[in-house]
Structure 1
Amino acid sequence: MTKIYTALGLSIATLLTGVLLGACENAENTTTTTTNNTTDTNQGLKIGSLLPTTGDLASVGQQMAGSVPLLVETVNACEGVNGRPVTLIEVDDQTDPRAGAAGMTKLATLDKVAGVVGSFASSVSTAAVSVAVPNQVMMVSPGSTSPVFTEKAQQGDFKGFWARTAPPDTYQALALAQLANQRGFQRVSTVVINNDYGVGFERAFVQAFEALGGTVVNKDKPVRYDPKAQTFDTEASAAFAGKPDAVVAVLYAETGSLLLKTAYQRGLTEGVQILLTDGVKSPTFPEQVGRSSNGNYLLAGAVGTVPGSDGEALADFNQLWADKKGGSPGEYAPQAWDAAALLVLAAQAAQENTGSGIASKIREVSNAPGTEVTDVCEGLRLLREGQEINYQGASGNVDIDANGDVVGVYDVWSVETDGTIQVIDKVTPKPE
């Protein structure tokens, strides 16, 4: 579904259909006034979001989707950017690379956005960034964590039009490897979704765990499942073969729940610790995996890691969320807020509402020197006055480096006997 937000509220109109949306079967067609990606600030800053509200990552993506319109509403209530309101166009990428590419094509060529918050899945961001870069659209992902993006940035593939507010999986893999080592696990196996996220994480984990003296028993025959698979008997059997101390499962929620349910139903998990990652950390995942005949949650006792949030702006963000929406924001919502904040702050710093302008200033507004600010409106005010700022976000300090990366903190979480997920520790991994 595509939505358009302006200072006047939500407006949805009909758009001419076309092949650009061919892969977005579930998207609504909409219209909005578009402009070329030029330095004309009179048209106002236009940004998009490309996040999964349907598909394999919907249970996590839906938790972050509310952050971007909330940021835009906040900014438009404090004079907007470059003297004009910000317009937001939301697109559901369906956790599908084809839909993500089509969505980014629409945002870049029809809507003429300057920047995009998204995507979440690394495979979708890989498809979308190939459209964003040649169209000079600044893309800031709140959750694509594959190490491949660092490598491509180092090779110059992105030309500065890529950044992310969640750290790469080289760090999360190290955090999980250290967690496994601390718990005394010496023999582990891996099972991962066969895409950029899963394979990149697997490789980083193997390297980190072996460096700590551990053994990955299926290193030479890794178990990687098809993202479109519907049955997982073969993969479950292979992952748990030989009764390793633990199985590191790098999954997406919809398919991952089926794989783990298969393993439990076949009695493969008895005596084996399940280690999970961010792709499945949502309140609904234990229920998706299911319960035993006596009503116990199958996933109880599983432990995992997820990029956490410890930024100076976190308390204010949580309070704003509670005031506007009620309850608490979910996983990656702070990272999505920060991604949108960096887009608007960089546009203001550049004094132009273009992707190239944002790309030229995004590191400047996110790093020292400059006055540290946690409030996006305060940051915009200082930038209007010609001052430099160093934005301190809700997810962290979001110091964007030359590769578009940040280094974050990780939450260690567990599934309790009642099916709830509790954060039990925090860790900031450091390479040895």
Structure 2
Amino acid sequence: MTRRTHAGRSVAVTGALVLALTACAGGSGGGDEPAGGGGDGGGEPLRIGTLLPVTGSLAQLGPPEIAGVDLAVDEINEAGGLFGADVEVSHKDSSDAQNASVATASAQELISEGVSVVVGAASSSVTLNVVDDITGAGIVQISPANTATNLSGYSDFYFRTAPPDSVQGDVLGNLIVSDGASNVGILVFNDSYGTSLRDVVADVVTSAGGTIVYGEKGQEFDPAEQNFSTIVGDAIAASPDALVILTFTEQTPLIVRELAAQGWDMSKTYFVDGNLQNFGTEGETGFPAGTLEGAQGTLPGAYPSEEFQERMRGVDPDLTEFSYGPESYDATMLAALAALKGGDSSGETIQANLAAVSGADGGEECTGWQECADLVEAGEDIAYQAVSGVGPFNDANDPSSAFIGIYQFGPDNTYTFSRSEEGEVPQD
């Protein structure tokens, strides 16, 4: 039986639910003992908390991320759990940076519950608000979606299974240049996610001989902005041959409608992970058919296989988006494998063994819980093969490599996979 808590409600879920997302030997300890094997958490069940968006401007990411965690937990528990007990998970809402008190309260609840790992947040700005409290309590924080470059190496207890903006920004900038654009406008909100990604894209474009005609430093808009008439008008007046929208989904429909109203060719528009969504043709987020046809977007992570998508739907049958689901699955698997390798479920032990189980020290490649756990229990070093395609953790606790998917919108304003590019994560 898998025990879950959703915002203070205990939910017992029985049955077989199997799903997977984006994570065993050779830890940081010395001698014959596994790293962290003598920690205080021995004999205790592994308690995982999630800090993921149920409400707010990134709420579309919550369902696949939560499903990814639950899929991994179900897979582990169906195989007998960890240390003779089921892995437990407690889900809390992170909301967004405009509702910072939600994440603050949720983080304190998870700390009080005694979790060893927190999977989240999705927003880099939200993480920056709570990471000191979480990691300061000796709890490992693993984000499946943070991309801000200033989080690289932030804390020994902070990891992420999504690459920093240096990778997505590089792929996006080169995509724009390869499409023939040289005068690029960027509609960017004043948030660490947006400005970090803007800086990388701008560097790629200008290094290729292009120009950023709108969206330089000082031309960001307020994350709470609701009227984009002047902002869009100024961007179009700068005569760009491509426009990048760097904001979250709450404002994106307003921007798209204003761009269309002012006659912008939407096929020359580029989206990113924070706002790439199947907008469709109906409802509050829908547009008239053909509005986004030809527009493109980028999204970190290898494209999830049909099999993995079906496994995720086994956890949440209503899923229509899969963004960062694999990364959430991987974060959960990595944490559990690190605990197994170290011999207990404490945050200190998990932190000491995460890099090793990700393959940072080499080892035998393995996938899923059963295969990897069998190798760890046999004393083998492993290299967990992440569903999201990320490489082992580097010295900054970032994935050492990652895939970035490139997607294109069709006439129904939904996107389909085009191709993916693999990039290395640079280290200072």
Question: TM-score, normalization: structure 2?
Answer: 0.85
Q: CA deviation at 1:334?
A: 0.6
For residues 58 and 403 of structure 1, the distance between their equivalents in structure 2, rounded to whole angstroms, comes to: 28
The 3-state SS of whatever aligns with 1:139 is strand
2:371 is aligned to 378
1:100 is aligned to 103
Q: Structure 1 unaligned runs (5+)?
A: 1-6, 13-26, 33-37
Aligned residue runs from structure 1 range 16-165, under 5 A? 27-28=7-8, 39-96=40-97, 97-108=100-111, 110-150=112-152, 153=153, 157-158=154-155, 160-165=156-161
For residues 248 and 297 of structure 1, the distance between their equivalents in structure 2, rounded to whole angstroms, comes to: 19
**1:70-108: CA deviation from partner (whole Å, max 9, x where unpaired):** 211111111212232211000011123332222112111
**1:333-379: CA deviation from partner (whole Å, max 9, x where unpaired):** 11110011111111111111111111100000001422211121221
1:391 is aligned to 384
1:246 is aligned to 242
| Bigger mean CA offset, 317-326 vs 49-58 | 317-326
Q: Which has the higher contact order (CA 8 A, sep 6+)?
A: 2
Q: Is the 8 A contact 1:369 1:388 kept in 2?
A: yes
- CA 1:423–1:129 in structure 2 vs 1: closer, same or farther (change >3 Å)? same
Aligned length: 394
| Bigger mean CA offset, 349-358 vs 233-242 | 233-242
The 3-state SS of whatever aligns with 1:101 is helix
Q: CA RMSD in A?
A: 2.5
Q: CA deviation at 1:248?
A: 1.2
For residues 130 and 9 of structure 1, the distance between their equivalents in structure 2, rounded to whole angstroms, comes to: 27
**1:103-137: CA deviation from partner (whole Å, max 9, x where unpaired):** 112111x1111001111111111112121121011
For residues 395 and 90 of structure 1, the distance between their equivalents in structure 2, rounded to whole angstroms, comes to: 22
State whether structure 2 residue 167 is matched by structure 1 residue 171: yes
Q: Is the 8 A contact 1:283 1:421 kept in 2?
A: yes
Question: TM-score, normalization: structure 1?
Answer: 0.84
1:417 is aligned to 411
| Bigger mean CA offset, 59-68 vs 337-346 | 59-68
- CA 1:285–1:123 in structure 2 vs 1: closer, same or farther (change >3 Å)? farther
For residues 103 and 10 of structure 1, the distance between their equivalents in structure 2, rounded to whole angstroms, comes to: 15
Match 2:269 to one of 274, 278, 287? 274
1:301 is aligned to 294
1:364 is aligned to 356
- CA 1:11–1:264 in structure 2 vs 1: closer, same or farther (change >3 Å)? closer
For residues 337 and 380 of structure 1, the distance between their equivalents in structure 2, rounded to whole angstroms, comes to: 15
- CA 1:11–1:245 in structure 2 vs 1: closer, same or farther (change >3 Å)? closer
For residues 219 and 282 of structure 1, the distance between their equivalents in structure 2, rounded to whole angstroms, comes to: 22
Q: CA deviation at 1:310?
A: 5.7
Q: Is the 8 A contact 1:343 1:358 kept in 2?
A: yes
1:18 is aligned to none
Q: Is the 8 A contact 1:194 1:227 kept in 2?
A: yes
**% same residue:** 27
The 3-state SS of whatever aligns with 2:136 is coil
For residues 218 and 186 of structure 2, the distance between their equivalents in structure 1, rounded to whole angstroms, comes to: 7
For residues 290 and 188 of structure 1, the distance between their equivalents in structure 2, rounded to whole angstroms, comes to: 26
